[in-house]
Amino acid sequence: EQRISRQIALARKHHVTPEGLPELHQQLLAEAELLSQQESDQESLQLLVGEHYQAALQSAEQLHQQRSHYADELQLLITQSMHLLSMPHGQFKIALTFNPDQLTADGASRVDFQVTTNPGQPLQPLGKVASG
């Protein structure tokens, strides 16, 4: 009698007939299994995201090193060109800053071009010094 009362109470709680309880039980077990699988999938995806982030960060570091190498060459060539353009005290500098918190599809380097055209004048951002 207690068992029947419990089945009726469960059936009411879940809005099914007492005969529908076994089917509901199977359905709930299937949903629980699906949720468990989704949690497992989510953990796997989080690990995969972490691995890909580390690989992207490593690529960004390599890109930054290459940029640094070529920035040194380029700033020397541009400074020499400025001297040839009657700016004997001109100086061009490429300031590179690596910031792993700012990782984008273009890497994690911030590139700033700085220039000075007159003696005693400090290096300033190119956008401030050059006009037009």
Reported pTM: 0.64
The parent domain of residue 53 ranges over 2-129
- Residue 91: helix, strand or coil by DSSP? strand
Q: What is the pLDDT of residues 4-50, one digit of tens each?
A: 888 888 888 888 888 888 898 899 999 998 888 888 888 889 999 99
What domain count does the chain have? Answer: 1
Distance CA 39, CA 62 (A): 35
- For residue 77 the two structure tokens come to 């060539």
Q: What is the pLDDT of residues 104-118, one digit of tens each?
A: 999 999 999 999 988
